[in-house]
Amino acid sequence: MPPMSKKLQLSARMKIRDGKLDEFKRQAAMCILQVKEKDPGTLQYDWFLNSDKTECEVREAYESSEALLAHMSNLREPLGILFEQYATDHSVVLYGDPSPELIQTAKTRGVEVRTYSFLQGLD
């Protein structure tokens, strides 16, 4: 596993639009398929629904900022559809030390990102 200084973890949250759960699930499956096919630097990409299926949280991990940038590029179209039609209130919490390019790209795309730098862990 890459050293913690390069590795990034991410938690993305969103609300599912009323009456759009089935479509949301189909679009999520398309996103996951794209990651499997195109994102070798993605270490984790797990989608979770809350108990009443109105919100989703995606737990993600990447080898590096470059891997996350590649992910964002690869999923531009399917995620665009997800947020245009099936989800709202997207926010991201990023854990690690992202590159300035990654932070600028997120800002340019209008994604609200809160960042936490690594302090200490088991490794």
What is the pLDDT at residue 91? 92
Pick from 1-15, 68-82, 109-123: least confident: 1-15
Domain extent listing, the chain: 8-116
Q: What is the mean pLDDT of residues 94-103?
A: 94
Q: Kindly report the pTM of this predicted structure.
A: 0.90
DSSP character string of the chain: ---TTT-EEEEEEEEEPTT-HHHHHHHHHHHHHHHHHH-TTEEEEEEEE-TTSSEEEEEEEESSHHHHHHHHHHTHHHHHHIIIIIEEEEEEEEES---HHHHHHHHHTT-EEEEE-------
C-alpha 46/C-alpha 23 separation (Å) is 18
Section 107-118 average pLDDT: 88
Instruction: Say which CATH class 8-116 falls into.
Output: alpha beta
> What average pLDDT is seen over the chain?
93
For residue 5, name the pLDDT band (cuts at 50, 70, 90): low
> What would the mean pLDDT of 33-60 be, rounded to a whole number?
97
Residue 109 has pLDDT above 90, yes or no: no
Query: What confidence tens digit (pLDDT) does each residue in 51-75 have?
Result: 999 999 999 999 999 999 999 999 9
The confidence score (pLDDT) of residue 66 equals 96
